Each structure stands twice: as structure tokens, then as C-alpha cells.
Amino acid sequence: MAEPKAYRNFIDGEWVESRSAAVFEDRSPANRSDVVGLFQDSAAADAEHAIEAAARAFRRWRAVPAPKRAEYIFRMGEILVRRKEDYALEMAREMGKPLREARGDVQEAIDVCYYMAGEGRRLCGWTTPSELPNKACFTTRMPVGPCGLITPWNFPMAIPSWKLIPALVCGDTVVMKPASDAPLPAYQLVKLAQECGIPNGVVNYVTGGGATVGASLLRHPGVALVSFTGSSETGRAVAIACAEEFKRVSLEMGGKNAMIVMDDARLDLAVDGAVWGAFATAGQRCTATSRIIVHRKVKDEFIARLKERVENLKVGDPLDDTVEMGPMVNEAQLKKTMEYVQIGRDEGADLVCGGVRLTKAEYGRGWFFAPTIFAGVAPGMRIAREEIFGPVVSVLAADSLDDALNIANDTLYGLSSSIYTQDVNRAFQAARDLETGITYVNSSTIGAETHLPFGGTRRTGNGHREGAAQTALEIFTEWKTIYVDYSGRLQKAQIDTN
Ligand code: NAD
């Protein structure tokens, strides 16, 4: 077998080894003997080196006109289109999401590039009349400075792109720290940035642990903004560390997303939505459908139909285009899921199907788990309250729309929600009353379009939204107010008036 490729950090325009001289293995979760690559297990000193490079480059990059910055981004989009299939194959192998989903992940990055490239010619501020004669007032957006981008493994190209691309268009420089379970797609984005001619130091990439590389980005005073996506637990630590330095911080975190199925719903659509919502990416999506709240009148039929569909889901090699669900990303996720299955049983929920690790034949080589449904779940059970982040879905019963809404909103999280109904009044009421950042009607809880805000309430986020220009630019720029006095009056004469 060929030696696995060794990937380096990218600092100040150079591909360099870590000062730690250590590497970690990146293995496929579908076949643990398949080593995808060796990545730098970097030291804090590498992150500091990268931050200093980003700080130096910031002075030059912020002066590049925004439409010119955006041209680099457009070029990145064009190359991504050509390499989409290669990157999707790499991603499916590296983190285990089925190929069709991996294509969607790369497509997100393409969409972000094309969409944000247009922002280079907008980045709009506003003008307003002055209180004084012969004075102009207007606002502009300023870049924030060097940004630390800390990302998870579940959307390993889409999520880094949601941060990297708007940051660059806005004139910020970056140090990217991808998750160690899937650092390759972010590496490809960085290589692309280099290939498209983005100047040295503007984009830096440092792989390694959260406690070393990640923590350095939080602590170092040279980082002006930390943009983090990951678990709420890590997000809390990120927010606390950033507060110490009065650093701007944008947090996108966990979810416990509910789908409501009313008694008038089209059950064929609802079952299909539940399957993809709960089991796409093996349930490892922040928007995954984790609770299905079904009207009591249709609950038994819904569960029977869902069970039949889930028992026939094709689980297997993510590189096989017919496979519908791949493995879990790592052993820790698998163990956590198994623990929650035990918790659900102990709490008295009914295990409808699944609940076991898959080990026969090819499954034995990876971290496969059977898609799992619990019924008879009460709102107070831990499986109905805590983010599992695995292929496990809980079915709860409700007696009315109000009852269903109360159950859905009784959570610490607030990312996504959905309702299946054919009654327009119920649909609009749910869209208004579900306390989440995103609500779908007659569609599952998953999926996002890049020109719309993405993010959530409560422990899912801290008020920021990625995606749409109106919201992403609020993260990656600061407002500047400019007054231009063309009256020729002495300052003294102006003091009386303001
Ligand atoms: P995680 O919190 O374990 O890690 C996320 C990133 O933070 C990784 O790069 C990790 O190395 C880094 N990190 C860990 N400890 C750190 C520390 N002390 N300081 C700085 N950085 C640190 O999350 P994960 O397991 O990679 O991802 C799964 C989680 O991400 C789930 O909770 C999921 O809901 C969430 N997620 C949220 C969104 C969203 O947009 N809301 C999207 C995708 C995933």
C-alpha cells in the first residue's frame, strides 16, 4: 500500500511542518485501515506564527478594493465547479457522508463563492442628512481584522466556506483551524485560495487539537474575531475565553430539532422528510430531525410507515452512490450514540428498530450504527432533550397544534424546526410560533440556501447568522461613521449645535 500523503500547515504563503514535529492520522470511518492522510498535530507556536502572518497581511489586504478581492473569490468558485466530484469523493472517504451528500457539501462552497463574489461590488453602507448645513454623513463597513475560524467535521467544506469567503470579501485575513476528523476539504479551499493568487498571509491553515491550536486563537490578542461552529459545550468555552480579551465572537452550535406531523399531513411526505432529516449524514447534522412530534390520531400509522422505510435504508460504503447512510465519524460519536440508546431504554422508551452497532462483514471495518427509532418518548426524557448527534430519532405524541408547539419549544436549543400539514392556518401559526432560527413547512428540518440567514436561537447561537449578506457581513465587518464638513466654519461655531 502506498504511503499516506503528509499534509502541511499553510502559513504566510508557505506549506510548512509543525514546530511540534508531530502528525496525526486521518482515517476513513468506513474502513479504519484506510489512512486518508497525515496532518500536522500543531503546537500553539504554529498558531501564533499564523496569527502574526495574518496580522501583517491584514494591513495590505484591507487596502485591496473589495471588487478586486471578490474577483479572487469568483475564480475559486469556478475551479470548485470543475473539481466538485473529486472533492466530494475525498470527503465521502474522509468523513463518511454518502457521496450524494458530499456533492451537496461542495456545492455549498461553490454557491457561497458566487454569491459573496457579488458582495464585493456592494458592501453597502448608507447616507443620511446631517443636522448641520454643508455637512455630509455616511457609513461604511470596515474589515474586523485577523479572524480565527474554528470548524467542525460534519460539513467540512461548506462550513469553512461560510466563514472564509465572506471574511475575505470583507477584507479580513484568516487562520483556519478545521476539525481533526475532516481537515482535508478545508485544506483544498486553502490550496485553491493560493492557486487563485490570494496574497501570502491572507489565508493561513493550521491543523491540530482544540486545546492547542483552537485555544491559541481564542487567547492571542492579535485575533480580532473568532467565528466558531461546533458543540454548545465547546462554544461556551470559546465565548468565555473571547470575553477575557473583549474579542468579537460568532457562535453556531448544537440543535435538538423537532418536526411536527399534524393529523392532516400527507404522511408520504412526512415519512420521507423524517427519514432524510433523521438519518442523512447518519444524524450528524446540526439541523438533524431529532424529535418527531406526531398528532396522536396518526401516530401509529406514521410509526409503522417510518419503521418500514428505515429498516430498508441502505447503510454502507459512503463511496457507493446507492448508499443512503454511511458510518458515524469516529468511535467517540458511536459510543455516545450507544450510550443514548441505553439511556432511552432505561427511561422506558420503546425501541422500534435499530439500537445496535453494525459489525457484520464490511461494517466491521468502520463505525456503523443501525438507524434507530424510539417511540413512546416523553418530553422530559433525556433522549428528547439532549443532542445525540447520531442516527437516533424520538417519536413523541401530541393532541393538538398548541400541544405540539409547546413540546417543540421546550428545549435549550433553537436551530431548525418543521411542520407537515395541509392547513395553511396551521402552517403560518407554526412558522410564527416555533422558536427556532429556521422553520420549514412540508419539508424536513435539514437543508440551507446560502443567500438566506443560517443559525439559531438560545444555546444554538449568540445572535449572529451566517449565510445571507445582510447577516454574514454583520459578523465580518464593523461599522464606521464618517462626517465630512464642507461649511468652512470654525469648530467653535459648531460646538453650539452638537
Ligand atoms: P466540537 O465542539 O467538538 O469541535 C468543533 C471545533 O472546535 C473543532 O475544530 C475542535 O477542534 C475545536 N475545539 C475543541 N475544543 C476547543 C477549545 N477548547 N478551544 C478552541 N477550539 C476547540 O464539535 P464537533 O464534534 O466538531 O461538531 C459537532 C457539533 O457541531 C454538534 O454539536 C453540532 O450541532 C454542531 N454544529 C453546529 C452547526 C451550526 O451551524 N449551528 C453546524 C454544524 C455543526
Mutating to test ligand 1, I would choose from 41, 112, 154 the residue with most ligand atoms within 8 A of its C-beta, which is 154
Q: Which atom of ligand 1 is nearest to the CA of 177?
A: 9
Q: Which atom of ligand 1 is nearest to the CA of 209?
A: 11
pLDDT surpassing 70 at residue 156:
yes
pLDDT surpassing 90 at residue 240:
yes
Of all protein residues, the one whose alpha carbon is nearest to atom 39 of ligand 1 is: 252
Average pLDDT over residues 451-455: 97
Mean pLDDT computed over every residue of the chain: 97
Distance 313 CA to ligand 1 centre (A): 28
Distance 230 CA to ligand 1 centre (A): 2
pLDDT surpassing 80 at residue 498:
no
pLDDT for position 492 = 79
Q: Rounded to whole angstroms, how far apart are CA atoms 115 and 450?
A: 8
Tens-place pLDDT, residues 318-334: 999 999 999 999 999 99
Q: Rounded to whole angstroms, how far apart are CA atoms 386 and 126?
A: 43
Average pLDDT over residues 3-7: 94
pLDDT for position 208 = 98
Average pLDDT over residues 76-90: 98
pLDDT surpassing 90 at residue 490:
no
Tens-place pLDDT, residues 343-391: 999 999 999 999 999 999 999 999 999 999 999 999 999 999 999 999 9
Average pLDDT over residues 56-69: 98
Q: Measuring CA to CA, how many Å separate 468 from each of 6, 67, 171, 180, 264?
A: 36, 18, 17, 28, 34
Percent over 90 (pLDDT), the chain:
97
Average pLDDT over residues 442-466: 96
Q: 20-24, 229-233, 490-494: which has the minimum mean pLDDT?
A: 490-494
pLDDT for position 244 = 94
Q: Greatest CA separation found in the chain?
A: 86
Tens-place pLDDT, residues 94-126: 999 999 999 999 999 999 999 999 999 999 999
pLDDT for position 312 = 97
Distance 296 CA to ligand 1 centre (A): 36
Of all protein residues, the one whose alpha carbon is nearest to atom 8 of ligand 1 is: 179
Q: Which atom of ligand 1 is nearest to the CA of 333?
A: 25
Continuous segment of H or E residues that includes residue 413: strand 413-414
pLDDT for position 2 = 76
Q: Rounded to whole angstroms, how far apart are CA atoms 48 and 355?
A: 44
Of all protein residues, the one whose alpha carbon is nearest to atom 9 of ligand 1 is: 179
Mutating to test ligand 1, I would choose from 231, 290, 436 the residue with most ligand atoms within 8 A of its C-beta, which is 231
Average pLDDT over residues 436-449: 97
In sequence order, what are the residues at sequence separation of 6 or more whose Cβ sits closer than 8 angstroms to the Cβ of residue 305? Answer: 267, 271
pLDDT for position 1 = 61
Q: Which atom of ligand 1 is nearest to the CA of 178?
A: 9
Of all protein residues, the one whose alpha carbon is nearest to atom 4 of ligand 1 is: 230
Average pLDDT over residues 444-467: 96
Of all protein residues, the one whose alpha carbon is nearest to atom 15 of ligand 1 is: 210
Q: Rounded to whole angstroms, how far apart are CA atoms 284 and 298?
A: 28
Nearest to 96 by CA among 29, 154, 161: 29
| CB neighbours of residue 56 within 10 Å | 16
What b/e readout covers 452-478, taking b as 16+ CB neighbours within 10 angstroms? Answer: ebbbbebbbbbebbbbbbebbbbbbbe
Helices (H) and strands (E) in the chain, counts: 14, 21
Distance 149 CA to ligand 1 centre (A): 11
Q: Measuring CA to CA, how many Å separate 384 from each of 132, 156, 292, 376?
A: 59, 27, 10, 11
Q: Is 157 helix (H, G, I), strand (E, B) or coil?
A: coil
Q: In Å, how far from its chain's centre is CA 232?
A: 12
Of all protein residues, the one whose alpha carbon is nearest to atom 12 of ligand 1 is: 210
Distance 234 CA to ligand 1 centre (A): 6
pLDDT surpassing 80 at residue 80:
yes
Q: In Å, how far from its chain's centre is CA 185?
A: 14
Distance 217 CA to ligand 1 centre (A): 14
Average pLDDT over residues 13-18: 98
pLDDT surpassing 70 at residue 164:
yes
Catalytic residues: 252, 286
Percent over 70 (pLDDT), the chain:
99
Q: Rounded to whole angstroms, how far apart are CA atoms 393 and 373?
A: 5
Distance 400 CA to ligand 1 centre (A): 36
| Protein residues whose CB sits closer than 6 Å to any atom of ligand 1 | 150-155, 159, 177, 179, 210-211, 214-215, 218, 229-231, 234, 237-238, 252-255, 286, 387, 389, 415, 460
